[in-house]
């Protein structure tokens, strides 16, 4: 006589289902696109809402602190652990030098003006603003793709840092473009194009550097970190200080702390 089964099949709602995990290539593209879309969102806020310059400066100072924390713990530390000290130092210094050199070319060529007279509107052209955003955004998003190579994982802290730092850049630049008479189609077409380039940059970081040895990947990650730190010191903190003065340091520290908490939780 057959022995009756003691267990019963679990109900349908308790049965496990396969979890769909996006491929690293798709994840890199989504991370880069999200980073670029932060510029578009900032542009939309600035276009439709009158935001005080002081508020934009506070967000910029907070974003600077977030970026400093992210590049310290998620880029430089990771690059040193995976590829060694020498490639990391070489990449870090090279990134800073290349960023400063390109930034000077843009500024002296009249494409990008970071230093405005107090109380005046920005005078950068649309092309200059686009070039400046790309100069900042390409290393930030490319490193997101690099972090996914070799079975790695996307750094949530870096992604959050880039998104937060791009938001005030889109706001500030769009206010200048609007005051110069640019149309909404021009402004949002410009930032949407930059968002697409950011996605392609992250894709390129993953696809082109997937087979590079660890030392090379460490160099690239440190290169991005050096370029980002140079950008923070040259653009974000001075711009924020012009409006927020003594609050800049405190808000930057708060951004650093927030990013460090995200790093620890992630």
Mind listing the pLDDT tens digit for each residue in 71-84? 898 889 888 988 88
Residue with tokens 């070489």: 90
Residue bearing the bigger pLDDT, 197 or 173: 197
Torsion of CA 138, 247, 266, 218, to 10 degrees: 40
State residue 200's pLDDT score: 92
Among 265, 263, 241, which residue's Cα sits nearest to residue 68?
Answer: 263
Q: Is the pLDDT of residue 88 over 60?
A: yes
Give the C-alpha separation, 144 to 154, whole Å.
6
Q: Is the pLDDT of residue 121 over 70?
A: no
Q: Please enumerate, as own/partner, the contacts of 81-89 that have beta carbons within 8 Å and a separation of 24 or more.
A: 82/214, 82/217, 82/218, 83/214, 83/215, 83/216, 83/217, 83/218, 83/219, 84/215, 84/218, 87/215, 87/216, 87/218, 87/219, 87/222, 88/218, 88/219, 88/221, 88/222, 89/222
Residue with tokens 């057959």: 2
Q: Is the pLDDT of residue 109 over 70?
A: no
Q: pLDDT-based confidence at 65, cuts 50/70/90?
A: very high
Average pLDDT, the chain: 80
Q: pLDDT-based confidence at 247, cuts 50/70/90?
A: very high
Give the C-alpha separation, 178 to 70, whole Å.
32
Residue bearing the bigger pLDDT, 15 or 143: 143
H runs (alpha helix) in 71-183: 77-83, 85-108, 126-147, 156-179
State residue 215's pLDDT score: 81
State residue 192's pLDDT score: 92
Q: Is residue 176 classed as helix, strand or coil in its secondary structure? A: helix
Give the C-alpha separation, 120 to 2, whole Å.
90
* Residues 214-233, mean pLDDT to the nearest whole number: 87
Range with the poorest average pLDDT among 34-43, 115-124, 155-164, 235-244: 115-124
Q: Structure tokens of 130?
A: 């686009």
| pLDDT cut 90: percent of the chain above it | 24
Q: In Å, how far are 34, 93, 149, 261, 263 from 69, measured between CA atoms?
A: 20, 18, 22, 10, 9
Q: Is the pLDDT of residue 118 over 50?
A: no
* Residues 217-235, mean pLDDT to the nearest whole number: 88
Q: Is the pLDDT of residue 119 over 60?
A: no
Give the C-alpha separation, 14 to 31, whole Å.
32
Q: pLDDT-based confidence at 123, cuts 50/70/90?
A: very low
* Rg (alpha carbons) of the chain, rounded to whole number: 21
């Amino acid at each position: 006589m057959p022995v009756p089964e003691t267990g019963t099949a679990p109900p349908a709602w308790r049965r496990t289902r396969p979890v769909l995990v996006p491929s690293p290539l798709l994840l890199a593209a989504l991370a880069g696109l999200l980073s670029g879309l932060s510029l578009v969102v900032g542009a939309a806020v600035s276009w439709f809402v009158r935001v005080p310059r002081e508020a934009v400066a506070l967000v910029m100072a907070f974003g600077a602190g977030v970026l400093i924390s992210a590049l310290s713990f998620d880029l430089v530390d990771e690059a040193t652990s995976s590829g060694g000290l020498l490639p990391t130092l070489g990449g870090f210094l090279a990134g800073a030098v290349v960023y400063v050199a390109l930034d000077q070319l843009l500024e002296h060529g009249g494409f990008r003006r970071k230093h405005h007279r107090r109380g005046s509107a920005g005078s950068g052209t649309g092309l200059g603003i686009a070039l400046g955003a790309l100069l900042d955004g390409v290393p930030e998003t490319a490193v997101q793709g690099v972090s996914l190579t070799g079975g790695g994982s996307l750094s949530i802290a870096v992604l959050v840092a880039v998104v937060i730092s791009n938001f005030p850049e889109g706001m500030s630049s769009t206010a200048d473009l609007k005051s110069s008479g640019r149309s909404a189609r021009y402004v949002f077409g410009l930032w949407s194009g930059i968002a697409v380039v950011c996605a392609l940059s992250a894709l390129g970081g993953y696809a082109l550097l997937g087979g590079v040895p660890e030392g090379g990947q460490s160099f690239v990650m440190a290169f991005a970190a050096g370029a980002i730190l140079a950008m923070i010191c040259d653009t974000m903190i001075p711009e924020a200080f012009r409006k927020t003065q003594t609050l800049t340091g405190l808000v930057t520290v708060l951004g650093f702390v927030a990013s460090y908490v995200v790093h620890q939780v992630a």
